[in-house]
Amino acid sequence: MVSSLLFVFALTGAAHAYSFPDCVGGPLANTTVCDTSASPTTRAKALIAMFTTAELVANTVNMSPGVSRLGLPAYNWWSEALHGVAGSPGVSFAPAGQDFSFATSFPGPILMSAAFDDELIKEIATVISTEARAFNNAKRAGLDYFTPNINPFRDPRWGRGQETPGEDPLRVSKYVFSLINGLQGGIDPPLLKIAADCKHFAGYDIENWEGNERFSFNAVISQQDLSSYYLPPFQACVRDAKVGSVMCSYNAVNGIPSCADTYLLQTILRDFWGFDDERWVTSDCDAVGNFIDHKFSPDLPHAAATGIKAGTDVDCGSTYANNLGAALNQSLLEVSDIQRALTRQYASLVRLGYFDPAASQPFRQLAWTDVNTDTAQNLAYQAAVEGIVLLKNNGVLPLSASTKKLAFIGPWADATSQMQGNYQGTAPFLISPFAAAKTARFDATLTAGTGINSNNASGFAAAIAAARAADAVIYAGGIDDSIEAEAHDRDTIVWPGNQLDLIGQLAALGKPLVVLQFGGGQVDDAALKSNANVSAILWGGYPGQSGGTAVVDILSGKVSPAGRLVTTQYPASYVDAVPMTDMSLRPSDTNPGRTYKWYTGTPTYEFGTGLSYTSFSLAVSRTAKTSYNIQALISAGQAAGGPLDLALFDTFEVAVSNTGKVASDYVVLGFVKTTAGPGPFPKKELVGYARVKGVGAGRRATASLAVTLGAIARTGDDGSASLYPGEYTLLLDVPTGATHSFQLTGTQAQITKWPADPSAS
State residue 1's pLDDT score: 40
Considering the domain architecture, whether residues 480 and 365 belong to the same structural domain is answered as: no
Taking 70 as the pLDDT cut, the residues of the chain under it are 1-16, 761
Considering the domain architecture, whether residues 500 and 637 belong to the same structural domain is answered as: no
In a domain, 233, yes or no: no
Rounded Cα distance between 75 and 20, Å, is: 9
Name residue 283's beta-bridge partners.
248
Residue 352 CB contacts under 8 Å (≥ 6 apart), including other chains: 143, 144, 191, 192, 194, 195
Task: Render 92-151 in DSSP notation, one character per residue.
Answer: -PPPTTSTTS----PPPHHHHHTT--HHHHHHHHHHHHHHHHHHHHTTSS-SB----B--
Q: What CATH number did the domain enclosing 544 receive?
A: 3.40.50.1700
State residue 328's pLDDT score: 98
Considering the domain architecture, whether residues 638 and 575 belong to the same structural domain is answered as: no
Q: What CATH number did the domain enclosing 664 receive?
A: 2.60.40.10
Considering the domain architecture, whether residues 334 and 396 belong to the same structural domain is answered as: no
In a domain, 169, yes or no: no
3-state DSSP helix/strand/coil percent for the chain, to nearest 5? 30, 20, 50
In a domain, 662, yes or no: yes
Chain segment 671-729, per-residue pLDDT in tens = 999 999 998 999 999 999 999 999 999 999 999 999 999 999 999 999 999 999 999 99
Any idea what DSSP says for residue 238? Answer: I
Considering the domain architecture, whether residues 594 and 636 belong to the same structural domain is answered as: no
Considering the domain architecture, whether residues 449 and 585 belong to the same structural domain is answered as: yes
Residue 329 CB contacts under 8 Å (≥ 6 apart), including other chains: none
Per the CB < 8 A criterion, the answer to whether 528 and 392 are in contact is: yes
Rounded Cα distance between 180 and 617, Å, is: 34
645 tagged catalytic: no
Sheet holding 648-658, edge to edge: 616-620, 648-658, 700-708
In a domain, 645, yes or no: yes
Beta-sheet pairing, 616-620 with 648-658: antiparallel
Any idea what DSSP says for residue 356? Answer: S
Considering the domain architecture, whether residues 576 and 647 belong to the same structural domain is answered as: no
pTM summary value: 0.96
Rounded Cα distance between 658 and 244, Å, is: 43
In a domain, 335, yes or no: yes
Considering the domain architecture, whether residues 589 and 641 belong to the same structural domain is answered as: no
Rounded Cα distance between 259 and 250, Å, is: 8
Three-state secondary structure of 399-453: CCCCCCEEEEECCCCCCCHHHHCCCCCCCCCCCCHHHHHHHCCCEEEEECCCCCC
Considering the domain architecture, whether residues 292 and 398 belong to the same structural domain is answered as: no
Considering the domain architecture, whether residues 447 and 553 belong to the same structural domain is answered as: yes
Considering the domain architecture, whether residues 484 and 528 belong to the same structural domain is answered as: yes
In a domain, 746, yes or no: yes
Considering the domain architecture, whether residues 423 and 281 belong to the same structural domain is answered as: no
Rounded Cα distance between 177 and 197, Å, is: 12
Out of 369, 403, 422, pick the residue that ends a domain: 369
CA dist 166 to 582, 620, 690, Å?
A: 19, 27, 17
Domain count, the chain: 3
In this structure, the number of other CB atoms found within 10 A of the CB of residue 31 comes to 17
Name residue 539's beta-bridge partners.
389, 517
State residue 16's pLDDT score: 56
Out of 533, 564, 598, pick the residue that ends a domain: 598
Q: Helix (H) and strand (E) counts for the chain?
A: 22, 27
State residue 545's pLDDT score: 98
For residue 721, give its domain range.
616-760
State residue 11's pLDDT score: 34
In a domain, 541, yes or no: yes
In a domain, 232, yes or no: no
Q: What CATH number did the domain enclosing 329 receive?
A: 3.20.20.300
State residue 761's pLDDT score: 58
Rounded Cα distance between 545 and 432, Å, is: 9
Annotated active-site residue in 284, 313, 481, 733: 284
Out of 304, 334, 369, pick the residue that ends a domain: 369
Chain segment 255-308, per-residue pLDDT in tens = 999 999 999 999 999 999 999 999 999 999 999 999 999 999 999 999 999 999
